[in-house]
Structure 1
Amino acid sequence: MSETEKPRQKLRTGFTTGTCATAAARAALISIITKKKINSIKVSLPKEKEITINVASCKFSDTTSRCSVIKDGGDDPDVTHGAEIFVDLEITDNIGQIEIDGGDGVGRVTKPGLGLEIGSAAINPTPKKMIIQNLTEVGKEVLRKNGIRVVISVPKGKEIAPKTDNPRLGIINGISILGTTGIVIPYSTASFAASIRQSLDVTIAMGDNTVVLTTGGRSEDFAKKEIKLPDHCFVQMGDFSGYTIQQCAKKSIKKAHVAGFIGKLTKIAMGVKQTHVKGSKVDMDFLAKMAQKCNAGQEVIQEIKKANTARHAQEIIIKNKIDGFFTAICKEAHEQMRAHSENKVEIDVILFDFDGCALGRYP
């Protein structure tokens, strides 16, 4: 390994906008319950992890509270780093109900394909679950007699939004409240490449020559239900599909199962070796051509060309029952990955929907 390949130091993790909103909401509720200003707060993350976060501001009355948390992206080059995320929390008469909405600086959804209702605040499902879980943990007594309403706002959200993909995705007037794990893993080519090589070396050291390459944690969880192999055979390749399969070939891995969702697998099928969202975009014309090959009608083809995201295209394909489309994407991804491996690695591709069902596979 050359000196340039070694990460100089361990990169600092951060926390997501979803975790900030959760921390502010939890602090807001506790301040009402205890009648005390909260300076730091423990937050429950997905997968039973906990993190302690500083609370930047906290004001409260008997039934309302406003708390804020400063977003910390760690060593990730994140445009939301340093943004102050506020939660206005109110005790309501809706017994047992937790309502969550976006205020100033949180974007509104105007296009399909994001897994969120058009017109709703751009708050993803995992942050919503985190907020509900955390408020339920500390507010059981409150929820027996009352409800809780949470409004998330980001004063600089409108200013930050043009630096994100939100305008292209049809999310207007602010940023999104995001996160699937609650933690931001720094996006570093050198450190990620090193971790991929290390993971493959562990697989080989354990006497195995088959791996499951996934684009992230969620696709890995879904793949584990489909493919029964030891944990050390599962390798998260993230955005580095080309590099990972080349390393598999170099290290004499015999077979690689490749598992992911429509967006990343489409990029792989297009021949993109590095699929980070900022580095490449899904080409809707490519997906339209794939649909045409599967005998989709002109109306469907035009709809796909205008699709907002790969997920939106997926919804169009499912709605119009275009047979063979997802298998065709898997076949193209298979051929590209085979080529990147110089035909040295046997490859099997699975495309999951967002609930973990296999939509397509090849061969």
Structure 2
Amino acid sequence: MTRKPDLDRDLRRGWTTGACATAATKAALSALWDGAFPREVQITLPKGETPVFALAHQASGPGWAEAGITKDAGDDPDVTHGALVIARVAASEGGVRFVAGDGVGHVTKAGLPIGVGEPAINPVPRAMMVAEVEALAAAHGLAPDVTITVSIPGGAELAAKTWNPRLGIKGGLSILGTTGVVRPFSCAAWIASIHRGIDVARAEGVAHVAGTTGATSEATVQRLYGLPDHAMLDMGDFVGGMVKYLRRHPVPRLTVGGGIGKMTKLAQGAVDLHSKRSQVDFAALADSFGAAEIAGCNTALEALERCGPPLAEHVATRALAQLRRLVGPETEVDTVVIDRAGQIMGRAS
């Protein structure tokens, strides 16, 4: 049963599967090299936060150790809330290697940030785990040559409730997260927070606000325009909730920025960009851009890899047209399409 957060109180954040896998890796490696498991483990997230995790599982044998963390998604109705994320560590033949254990999938289609055939462990969680391995190795005077096997018991069954099968991730879940933090997904509460952000910006006399789909696009747009923190609206997937409020409470200028997938959905008329409620129409994208070869793409990222920046410019332009229709004449609008590394691929104004 989906947990229903109490909207009369502040929603509690949680931790991503990537953060849990990182904590489990650190605990298991500490046991392997120190001979004993810690009771709890602290890690550093990409934005500098240092959460502490209690161990929910531990085991070891000759040349290996494993630890498990129970995922706490906070007040987010996340399908993986309560799942046990296990990391087993052992020596590798060189460097840090990743293996998909029980319940973690493999990538079988192009267009995802991890190559075909690889364990479905995304780049940021990989970087987090590598950083902890390297730090522990340096502290012990050892080489960071470690194989990390990440498992989520029951993950294959949970993955059937996600978009993973359609995206070509087979056999289980993905290890996800760009910040390590799960933001509570309550439509009403999130949209209300966007409205409050607009109210604050107007009260402060801010003439230029920005709505972005995630942490990477937010950082890029804020840096591009030199905007203050209170000009940044935590839009997420709710572009409709943002622009409808701006139509009634206008500001002089709005920038909307995001990755190619969500910006393509906006360009095609979607105002809720969540993967469960809108999808890219690749046949329509191929027709509007004039490139038949992208009609069969698996993801917008794959289409971008085939067509490059001209496709991003096309998406930015069509997204701009949608926003102009929605926002109204009192607000000047521009759009920015950003890749996963935070580089600008397309703009329209």
TM range, smaller chain: over 0.9
**What's 1:309 paired with?**
299
2:117 pairs with 1:119: yes
**What's 1:342 paired with?**
328
Distance 1:184 1:228, change over 3 A: same
Residue identity matched to 2:276: K
**What's 2:199 paired with?**
201
Distance 1:310 1:80, change over 3 A: same
1:49-81 CA deviation, whole Å, 9 max, x = no partner? 110111111123563201111122121111111
Distance in 2 between residues matched to 1:47 and 1:12, nearest whole Å = 18
Is the 8 Å Cα contact of residues 267 and 315 (structure 2) preserved in structure 1? yes
2:234 pairs with 1:236: yes
Is the 8 Å Cα contact of residues 137 and 144 (structure 2) preserved in structure 1? no
Distance in 2 between residues matched to 1:180 and 1:324, nearest whole Å = 27
Is the 8 Å Cα contact of residues 35 and 60 (structure 1) preserved in structure 2? no
The normalised TM-score by structure 1 is: 0.90
2:14 pairs with 1:14: yes
Is the 8 Å Cα contact of residues 96 and 145 (structure 2) preserved in structure 1? yes
2:341 pairs with 1:355: yes
Distance 1:229 1:146, change over 3 A: closer
Q: Structure 2: any 5+ residue segments left out of the alignment? A: 1-5
Residue identity matched to 1:361: R
Secondary structure (helix, strand or coil) at the match of 1:361 reads strand
Secondary structure (helix, strand or coil) at the match of 1:252 reads coil
Residue identity matched to 2:131: Q
Residues 218-233 of structure 1 aligned to structure 2 (within 5 Å): 218-233=216-231
% identical aligned pairs:
37
Residue identity matched to 2:319: A
1:285-339 CA deviation, whole Å, 9 max, x = no partner? 12111221xxx3xxxx1x3111111111111112xxxx74322211211111111
Secondary structure (helix, strand or coil) at the match of 2:47 reads helix
Residue identity matched to 2:147: R
Residue identity matched to 1:64: W
1:190-241 CA deviation, whole Å, 9 max, x = no partner? 2111211121122122221211121111101111232122222121211111
1:184 Cα deviation after fit:
0.7
Per mean C-alpha deviation after superposition, the further-off stretch among 194-203 and 119-128 is 194-203
1:21 Cα deviation after fit:
0.8
Distance 1:146 1:7, change over 3 A: closer
**What's 1:41 paired with?**
41
Distance 1:64 1:210, change over 3 A: same
Residue identity matched to 1:343: P
Residues 58-73 of structure 1 aligned to structure 2 (within 5 Å): 58-61=58-61, 63-73=63-73
Q: Structure 1: any 5+ residue segments left out of the alignment? A: 1-5
**What's 1:3 paired with?**
none
Residue identity matched to 2:76: D
2:324 pairs with 1:326: no
Secondary structure (helix, strand or coil) at the match of 2:288 reads helix
Is the 8 Å Cα contact of residues 40 and 55 (structure 1) preserved in structure 2? yes
1:183 Cα deviation after fit:
1.0
Distance in 2 between residues matched to 1:283 and 1:247, nearest whole Å = 27
**What's 1:138 paired with?**
136
Is the 8 Å Cα contact of residues 32 and 62 (structure 1) preserved in structure 2? no
**What's 1:290 paired with?**
288
1:81-104 CA deviation, whole Å, 9 max, x = no partner? 12111111113453xx22222122
2:153 pairs with 1:152: no
1:130-156 CA deviation, whole Å, 9 max, x = no partner? 111122222314463562211111221
Residue identity matched to 1:350: V
Secondary structure (helix, strand or coil) at the match of 2:116 reads coil
Per mean C-alpha deviation after superposition, the further-off stretch among 256-265 and 118-127 is 256-265
Residues 259-278 of structure 1 aligned to structure 2 (within 5 Å): 259-278=257-276
| Count of equivalent residues | 344
Distance in 1 between residues matched to 2:143 and 2:197, nearest whole Å = 51
The normalised TM-score by structure 2 is: 0.93
Residue identity matched to 2:307: I
1:177 Cα deviation after fit:
0.5
Is the 8 Å Cα contact of residues 217 and 236 (structure 1) preserved in structure 2? no
Residues 178-217 of structure 1 aligned to structure 2 (within 5 Å): 178-217=176-215
Secondary structure (helix, strand or coil) at the match of 2:124 reads helix
